[in-house]
Structure 1
Amino acid sequence: MQMPNLVPWKERISYAVSDFACNLAFQMVGTYLMYFYTDVFGITAAAVGTLFLVARIVDAVDGPFWGIMIDHTHTRWGKSRPYFLWFAIPFAVFCVLCFTTPDISMSGKIVWAYITYIGVDILYSAVNIPITSILPSLTNNPNERVTLSTIRQFFGTAGATIVTVAALPMVKAFGQGNEQKGFFWSVLLLATIAAILLLITFANTKERIQTKSSKKSIPVKESLKALKKNWPWAIVIFINFVYWLGMQTKSQVTVYFFKYNMHNAGLASFILGLQIVALLAVVITPMTAKKIGKRNTMLLGMALAIVGQLILSVGAHALSVPIIVVATIVGYLGTGFVSGLIAVMLADSVDYGEWKNGVRAEGIVTSFSSFSAKLGMGIGGAITGAILSMGDYVANASQSAGALKAIEANYIWVPIIGFGLSAIALIFYKVDNVETKMQNDLELKHSKENSEE
C-alpha cells in the first residue's frame, strides 16, 4: 500500500530547528552552569552538587508528567505541536534567569539557583519531549521518519557544536572582563534565538497522521496500555539509559583527563569540538538504514563507538595525542549513527503499541526517552564521583596513580560497558522484520476509523 507523500522540505527544516534551538540554549546550561555557579555566582561546589542531585530526582517525574499531558491534549493544532507555542518563551526566560546574578545573600543565591535551574530543567522537557512525540504524527512513512530524524540530529549536533566552540569567546566579548555580564548577554542572545526557532517549528509543522485516539484526550490508564508487551519500546528505553550513562561519565571527565593524565587541559576543547565529525554519520544514516535496516545501523554505530574507546585506551596508555584524535573521530562517527536513530525507533514503538494493543499514546511512549536519558546521566554522574573518590582524586593537585586510573576508568571503560550493553539489547530488537506489515495494518485501521466518523 502506498505511503503518504514525503514531508515538504520547509517542514523538514522547521522540525529540525527545534533540536538546534534546544541545544543552542540548554547546552550552555549543561556545559557551563556548574562553572558559572561556583566561579561567577559564588555558590559552593557542595551546594551545587546537592542542587544537581535534587534536580535529577525531579527529572524522575517531569518526563512522564509531560508525556501524560501530551496524551491529554486535544487542540486544533494537534497534541504535541502546541507545546512549542506555549513553552518556547518561558523556557528561554528561565535559561536567562539561570545566568542572572542578583545581589543577594548566599542563602538567597542558593534559593534562586534552585528555582531557576529546576525551572529550566522542567521547561526543557516541555519543549524537548514534543520534538520526539510529534515525529510519529508527522508521517507514517518509515524512511521519511529516518530522514526527518537525521535532519533534526544534524541541526541538533550543529547547535551543540556552536555553543561548545563559541560560548566562552562570546562571554569574553560581551563581558569585557566581567563574566557576570558576559554570561548574561551571551545566554540572552542564544535563548532569544532558541525561542524564535521553536515558534518557527510550531508555525510550520503539521500533525497529519490523525487517528481515532489522537483526536481525543487519552486517560492515563488507557495510555499505559500502549506499553503492554511493547518490547521494542522497552529495548529502546534501556538502550537510552545505558548509552547516556556511558556518555555522561566520559563527558564529565574530559577536562580532568586532559588536565591530569595528558597534562594539557587546552586539548579538551579541541577534542570536544571533534564532535562535528558525527555530522558525517548523521548525513549517511538514512542511506545506511535503508540498506541494512535501522537496528543494524545502530549496531554499527555501537560497534564503532566501542572500537573508538579501545583505540582510546591505547592512546591513553601511550599518552599519544594523534592516537587519541583518531579514537575520538571513530567514536563520534559511531555515536552519530546512534543519536539519529533513537527518536525513530521510539516513533516505531508508538506504532507497535497501537498495532499490538490498539492504543496510540505518543506522549507517554516517547516521554520515557527523556526520563531514561536523564536517569542514565544522573547515575553516570554518581558513578563518576564514586570512582574518583575511590581513586583518592584531589582537585588542583598532582594526582596519584590511583586517581589517574579512576579518571581513565570514567573516560574509557565505563562508556564501553554502556555501549556494549546497548549492542546486546539491540540483538533482541525485531521491529524491522515486521515493519511493512505493521504499517499496512495501521494504515487500513486508520482509514476505516476516519471513514466511520
Structure 2
Amino acid sequence: MNENDSHNEHVKAITPEQQNQVPWKERFSYSLSDFACNLSFQMIGTYLMIFYTDTFGISAAAVGTLFFVARFFDAVDGPFWGIMIDHTHTKWGKSRPYWLWFSIPFAVFCVLVFTTPNLSLTGKLIWAYITYIGVDVLYSAVNIPITSILPSLTSNPQERVTLSTIRQFMGTAGAAIITGITLSMVAFFGNGSTTSKRGWFIWALIVGIIVVIIFAIVFKNTNERVQTKSSRQSIPIKESFKALKRNWPWAIIIFINFIYWLGMQTRSQVTVYFFKYNMHDATLSSFILSLQFVSLIAVVLTPWTSRHIGKRNTMLGGMILACVGQLLLSWGASSLNVPIIVGATIVGYMGTGYVSGLIAVMLADAVDYGEWKNGVRAEGIVTSFSSFSAKLGMGFGGVITGWILTETGYIANHAQTSAALHGIELNYIWVPLFGFALSGISLLFYHVDRIEKKMQSDLAIKHTKENAEQ
C-alpha cells in the first residue's frame, strides 16, 4: 500500500461526525466570548434603564427616546462591522482580530455608561447619548465575530450545535451571574444603597476589567480552520450582499432575532421595577433573574433534542414553553403569588434556553445556504444582521417600555398609581408574550432541516474542488 492509498484509507475511516471536530480547550475558550458579552451587555440591558431613571435622574420618556435614536446607529454599525470582517485578512484570521482590537474600548465604554458626572439635565442627556451609543457600536465589534467565526471553526453541522450549546451555556451563566449579583454588589460598594452612583461605577469597572481578560483568552485559543476560496480573498461589498438573495432561512431567523429580543428586553429591564413597585420587594428581582441558571438544563439538552427532532422543532418547542411561562406569570402577577411567579419563571427560562443557542447555529446554516444558493460565502455580512436585529429588538423594547411607563404615569422612587403598576405588568408579561408567540409562528416557515444533508454534501464537493485548484 503506497502513501496515497494509506491516506485515502484514513480519510474513509473518519466519519462525517468526526470531521472538523474542535478540541475541548478551544470549545471552552470560544464559549467564554459569550460569557464576556453577557457579563457586560446583560448588565446594561437589564439595569441601565433603572440606573438612568432612579440613579442618574433621567426620565423614562427620555431614556426611551435615547434607546430609539440609538437604533439608527444600529442600522449602520451591524452591516459595517460585517463588511469589515469580510474584508479583513490577517495572520489571525478574519473574525478573531476584532477581539484583540476592540475589547478594551468596549470595556471602557461599559464603565463610562454607568458613570455619573455632575452635569445639568441637558449635560446628562448628552453624556448618556455619547456613552450608550458608543458602547452599543463597540458591542457589535466584539459580538458579531462570535457568530461570524462559527462557520470557520467547523463545517460539521452537529459540531456547530455543540459549539453553540457550550457558548450558550456560558453566555447564560454570565447573564445569570451578572443579573443575580449586580444589585448586591452595587449596594456593597455603595454603602448599602442600590441607587449609589459610587456603587454602580466601581462594579462596572470591575466587570470591565474581567471582560478584557476573558476576550484575551478567547483570542489566544480559537482557530479559524475552515478555509474556502471565498474566505481567502476580499469580497466586494456588492458581491457580499448577493449571499442574502433569496436567502429565506436568513430572513426568517433575523426577524425572529428581532421580535424575540424585543420581548426578552421588555421583560428583563422591568423585572426590577415589577418587584420594587408591584411586589414591594426589590430584593426578589435578583433571585428571579438568577433563575436563568435553570435554562442551562435546556441548553445542555439542545444538541440531543435537535439531533432527534431537528433544530427548527427544538426552537419551536422552546418558544411554546416561553409562551406558557408568560401565561403562568400573568396568573402569579394578578394574585401577587411568589411561588407561582417562581414556577412560571422557571418554565419560561427552560423555553428560552432552547432558543438562544440555536439562533447562532441557524445563522451559520444561513451562511452555507447563501453560498449554496447564490455561490457567495459572506460570513460577516450574513451574521452581522444578528447583532443588528437583536439590538434593534432590544432598542424597540426599550422604547416600548419607556413609552408605557411614561403614559401610565410612572414616577421614580415613589409609590406608583394603579395605572403605573398596570404599565409595569404590561411590559413584564404581555409584550414578551407577543414576541415569543410571533417568533413561534415565524418558525413554521423555516425548512432548512429538510435540505441540510444535501446542502452540506454539495458544499463539501465545491470546497474540495476549489481547494484542489489552489
TM range (shorter): over 0.9
Among 305, 311, 315, the alignment partner of 1:294 is: 311
Alignment partner of 1:64 is 2:70: no
Q: Any idea what SS the aligned residue of 2:16 has?
A: coil
With 221-230 and 376-385 compared, the bigger mean Cα shift is at 376-385
Alignment partner of 1:2 is 2:16: yes
With 101-110 and 88-97 compared, the bigger mean Cα shift is at 101-110
Contact 1:260/1:399, CA 8 A, preserved across alignment? no
Name 1:354's counterpart in structure 2: 371
Q: Any idea what SS the aligned residue of 1:421 has?
A: helix
**Aligned positions of 1:6-21 closer than 5 A:** 6-21=21-36
With 292-301 and 380-389 compared, the bigger mean Cα shift is at 380-389
Letter in 1 for 2:462: K
* 1:5-32 residue CA offsets vs partner (Å, 9 max, x unmatched): 3100000011000111111222332233
Name 2:228's counterpart in structure 1: 211
2: distance between equivalents of 1:87 and 1:186? 21
Deviation for aligned residue 1:330: 0.4
**Aligned positions of 1:13-412 closer than 5 A:** 13-41=28-56, 47-103=62-118, 107-176=122-191, 179-393=196-410, 395=412, 396-400=414-418, 402-412=419-429
Deviation for aligned residue 1:423: 1.1
Deviation for aligned residue 1:270: 1.8
* 1:279-308 residue CA offsets vs partner (Å, 9 max, x unmatched): 111111111111111111101101111111
Contact 1:17/1:156, CA 8 A, preserved across alignment? yes
2: distance between equivalents of 1:181 and 1:406? 30
2: distance between equivalents of 1:66 and 1:127? 9
Letter in 2 for 1:338: V
Deviation for aligned residue 1:185: 2.7
Q: Any idea what SS the aligned residue of 1:253 has?
A: helix
Letter in 2 for 1:347: A
Q: Any idea what SS the aligned residue of 2:146 has?
A: helix
Name 1:443's counterpart in structure 2: 460
With 415-424 and 284-293 compared, the bigger mean Cα shift is at 415-424
Contact 2:64/2:398, CA 8 A, preserved across alignment? no
1: distance between equivalents of 2:432 and 2:62? 28
Between Structure 1 and Structure 2, how many residues are aligned?
452
* 1:118-159 residue CA offsets vs partner (Å, 9 max, x unmatched): 211111110001001111110011111011011111111111
2: distance between equivalents of 1:442 and 1:206? 21
2: distance between equivalents of 1:263 and 1:365? 45
Gaps of 5+ in 1: none
With 406-415 and 217-226 compared, the bigger mean Cα shift is at 406-415
With 407-416 and 124-133 compared, the bigger mean Cα shift is at 407-416
2: distance between equivalents of 1:154 and 1:193? 18
Deviation for aligned residue 1:315: 1.9
2: distance between equivalents of 1:290 and 1:48? 43
Deviation for aligned residue 1:324: 1.4
2: distance between equivalents of 1:110 and 1:413? 30
- For normalisation by structure 2, the TM-score amounts to 0.90
Contact 1:281/1:334, CA 8 A, preserved across alignment? yes
Deviation for aligned residue 1:176: 4.1
With 224-233 and 269-278 compared, the bigger mean Cα shift is at 269-278
Contact 2:149/2:224, CA 8 A, preserved across alignment? yes
Contact 2:64/2:401, CA 8 A, preserved across alignment? no
Deviation for aligned residue 1:367: 0.8
Residue 294 to residue 53, structure 1, CA distance change in 2 (3 Å):
same
Residue 183 to residue 312, structure 1, CA distance change in 2 (3 Å):
closer
Deviation for aligned residue 1:439: 0.7
- For normalisation by structure 1, the TM-score amounts to 0.93
2: distance between equivalents of 1:64 and 1:175? 40
Q: Equivalent pairs: percent with the same residue? A: 73
Letter in 2 for 1:98: V
1: distance between equivalents of 2:434 and 2:186? 37
Contact 1:24/1:191, CA 8 A, preserved across alignment? no
With 253-262 and 2-11 compared, the bigger mean Cα shift is at 253-262
2: distance between equivalents of 1:389 and 1:183? 25
Contact 1:237/1:369, CA 8 A, preserved across alignment? yes
Letter in 1 for 2:450: N
Residue 175 to residue 389, structure 1, CA distance change in 2 (3 Å):
closer
Contact 2:47/2:269, CA 8 A, preserved across alignment? no
Contact 2:64/2:399, CA 8 A, preserved across alignment? no
1: distance between equivalents of 2:267 and 2:243? 34
Contact 2:61/2:402, CA 8 A, preserved across alignment? no
2: distance between equivalents of 1:40 and 1:58? 26
Deviation for aligned residue 1:313: 2.1
Deviation for aligned residue 1:36: 3.9
Contact 1:239/1:425, CA 8 A, preserved across alignment? yes
Alignment partner of 1:429 is 2:446: yes
